[in-house]
Structure 1
Amino acid sequence: MDEYQALQEQRRWQSLEPHSYENFVIGIMGLGVLGSKVAQRLASFGFSVKGWSRSKKEIAGIATYSQQQFADFLQQTRVIVNLLPSTPDTQGILNKTLFAQLKQGAYLINVARGEHLVEEDLLEALDSGQLKAATLDVFLQEPLSKQHVFWQRPEITVTPHISAITLPQVAMEQICRQLKAFQAGEAISGVVNMARGY
């Protein structure tokens, strides 16, 4: 759609060759609760989806990779979606080394944390054509400064940290359920491992 938007601005009536599902590989970085759901939903639409996480996960219909298989995961990836937690190991992970391993003309979607992205490396990858476009929902400094170069780049879509808005009523219900389960001695989910940072 970004290409059709550019054609519209030029008032050009032109059909583009569609991508095949098999060749439009989507890579999900981070296979926690959110990443697993995103991967499964995309696969249900017929996309070729693969996922990468610190430890190898088993998800039906998804090719999964562990930390040691990062290069294999990146190969042939056309769209990279970042849903990693923010830890010292993941800071700056979206960098020129990663971009260079993606398929030429790849797309980046970062909906995790701003500190994952090396901004200068993104701009360089866009300038060289290694990346075709990026959608960014999170930034090092928020709100994004009105003078920031990202606003001026047509290949970058900026959204104001809206990818996972917490609804207060829903959150309170979840917290109450967890507290009741904890008090009853039942197993609870979503407990942060302080050593890992997520």
Structure 2
Amino acid sequence: MQIRFSASDEAWSRWAPVLRATLPEAWLSRDGDPASFDAIIYAPGGDITDFAPYRNVRLVQSLWAGVERIVTNDTLTQPLARMVDPGLAQGMAEYCTGWAMRAHLGMDRYAQDGVWRNELSPPLATDRTVTILGMGELGRATAAMLRGIGFPVTGVSASGRPVQGVTVHPLADLDPVLAQASILICLLPDTPGTRNLLDAKRLAMLPQGAWVINPGRGTLIDDQALLEALDRGRPGHAVLDVLRTEPLPAGHSFWAHPGVTVTPHIAAETRPETAAPVAAENLRRAMSGRPVMNLVDRAKGY
């Protein structure tokens, strides 16, 4: 099996040793005759923009869960698989749970200024519903962790497919769900149907003081509408791990707004140690003609 690795130099240094140990039967390279390769391992930052010469490739395995930067490439006709990695799911669930707990407990209310504020005790988790937009692998992992603490969880997904222990609504029912979302976690993919989903109208539907936690895609929220909504207290705070422009420019209004916390796209990372076995299994499946896991639906974009 000959595999072309197309990702950044930094990714190559981290991934190559682990992939070679996990997939010893493969020859892994960053260069060579395109017609000689059986598969491509891809992440943004790689050098392949034209997939047409790779006519013998049976699978393009993405190292990222999101594939919006590649799925619209007209030269990509080979099967494309996104990464569904247990380590990535755990990292995302931990990030979302940590920020949900901060919002729930009101940790930022207790200024260390000598004022005794014991009237500001939080409710129990069982008394506060958390709403998750996007009930894919990451959404389900996050819901499971939050439910383990005691939060009732409401989910919204394009399909409305049931998830055990979660009240799931179809995306068409988003508006009434937002009115009950005191903690809203955004994990939807970037598609034409989700861009600017949280616009001025929908942000105004949130309860006063609600928290929005977005480690999904920066395109889900209308930036200017969010800033204006924060000034009105709906939502009360936004935690943004994904932005339309990354790194976020130093002069951007998000840095200065007291209602925004920016984190530098660190919510969930694809770790070679947990993701390489997933990639290896998928490549073996593709080479042997077996069904590939996590195959991307080009029409849906994920």
TM over 0.5: yes
Alpha-carbon distance change, 60 to 4 in structure 1, aligned in 2, over 3 angstroms: closer
Question: Structure 1 residue 7: deviation in Å?
Answer: 3.6
Query: Which position in structure 2 is the counterpart of 1:12?
Result: 115
Matches of 1:143 and 1:12, distance apart in 2: 38
C-alpha distance in 1, partners of 2:112/2:227?
A: 22
Identity of aligned residues (%): 35
Please say if residues 127 and 151 of structure 2, whose CA atoms lie closer than 8 Å, have aligned partners that are also in contact: no
**Matching of residues 79-90 of structure 1 within 5 Å:** 79-90=183-194
Contact 2:218 / 2:242 at 8 angstroms: preserved in 1? yes
The aligned runs of 1:1-198 (5 Å cut-off) are: 1=102, 3-8=106-111, 10-15=113-118, 16-198=120-302
Kindly provide the CA deviation profile for residues 140-191 of structure 1, in whole angstroms up to 9, marking residues without a partner as x. Answer: 1110111111111222111000111122343332211111123333333211
The CA RMSD over aligned residues, in Å, is: 1.8
Deviation sequence 1:36-92 (CA, Å, 0-9, x none):
111122112110110001111111110000122212322311011110000011111
Which residue is 2:76 aligned to?
A: none
Does the aligned pair in 2 maintain the 1:83–1:110 contact within 8 Å?
yes
One-letter amino acid matched to 2:252: H
1:23 CA displacement: 4.1
Deviates more, 1:10-19 or 1:171-180: 10-19
Unmatched segments (≥5 aa) in structure 1: none
Equivalent-residue separation in structure 2 for 1:188 and 1:155 (angstroms): 43
2:178 and 2:136 map into 1 onto residues whose CA distance is: 18
Inter-partner Cα distance in structure 2 for 1:22 and 1:97: 29
Q: CA deviation at 1:132?
A: 1.1
Higher mean Cα deviation, 153-162 or 3-12?
Answer: 3-12
Find the aligned partners of 2:130 and 2:296 in 1 and give their Cα distance: 28
Q: Distance in 2 between matches of 1:98 and 1:19?
A: 26
> Offset at 1:22?
4.5
Q: Which amino acid aligns with 2:139?
A: G
TM-score between the two structures when normalised by the length of structure 2: 0.61
Residue aligned with 1:28, SS? strand
Answer with 1 or 2: which has the greater Rg.
2
Contact in 2 for aligned 1:24/1:77 (Cα 8 Å) = no
Q: Name the SS of the counterpart of 1:13 in structure 2.
A: coil
2:59 corresponding residue in structure 1: none
Following superposition, the deviation at residue 104 of structure 1 comes to: 1.8
Preserved CA contact (<8 Å) 1:29 1:81: yes
Q: Give the letter aligned to residue 67 of structure 1.
A: L
Identify the structure with bigger relative contact order (alpha carbons < 8 Å, sequence gap 6+). Answer: 2
